[in-house]
Amino acid sequence: MPFPRRTKYSNKKTEVDGILFDSKGESERYTMLKGHLAAGIISNLRLQVPYELKVNNVLICKYIADFVYIKDGKVVTEDFKGILTSIFQMKRKLMRAVHGIEIFITKRPNKFSEIGLKEPKPKKVPVKKVKPVKVKKV
């Protein structure tokens, strides 16, 4: 029996309200936005909204936004990202250039921000200075 394939970024597909999401974090964000929708904070919540990115009438690529909704009278285009890939960063710039749309990125909070601590910074390793070696001529 073959083993189930592991996804590239270790995300787990999750189903909420009969909708299959690419990751648990994306499904949690949907649940949060659904609460905002019920509270009247946002309106017109749409999922997986496609955009064509054309330059000089040539289709360069397509971008699918995770969520699009209206907040305070403005359209918000949102994407949940665990990892910011170079392809996504290119599509984000194209969305700004072609459609004038800024993508709002949401991420899952890390374990330090959940409990109110600052994330530790990596320590700098001191570099020892090496004295030059003198070579004797024979």
Q: How confident is the model over 58-113, as pLDDT tens digits?
A: 999 999 999 999 999 999 999 988 778 899 899 999 999 999 999 988 887 654 44
Is 68 part of any domain? yes
Is 49 part of any domain? yes
DSSP class of 82: S
Residue 63 domain boundaries: 14-109
- Domain count along the chain: 1
Alpha-carbon distance of 91 to 103, in angstroms, equals 10
Is 129 part of any domain? no
For 112-136, the pLDDT digits (tens) are 444 444 444 555 556 666 667 677 7
Is 41 part of any domain? yes
For 41-52, the pLDDT digits (tens) are 999 999 999 999
Q: In whole angstroms, what separates CA 88 from the centre of its chain?
A: 8
Instruction: Specify the higher pLDDT residue, 3 or 22.
Output: 22
β-pair partners for 65: 49
Is 114 part of any domain? no
Q: Rounded to two decimals, what is the model's pTM?
A: 0.68
Is 76 part of any domain? yes
Whichever domain contains 67, its CATH number is 3.40.1350.10
Closest CA to 82 of 102, 109, 122: 109
Alpha-carbon distance of 62 to 79, in angstroms, equals 14
Residues 6 or more apart from 11 whose CB is under 8 A from it? 22, 23, 24, 25, 82
Is 26 part of any domain? yes
Is 116 part of any domain? no
Q: How far is CA 51 from CA 45, 81, 88, 95, 132, in A?
A: 16, 18, 13, 8, 60
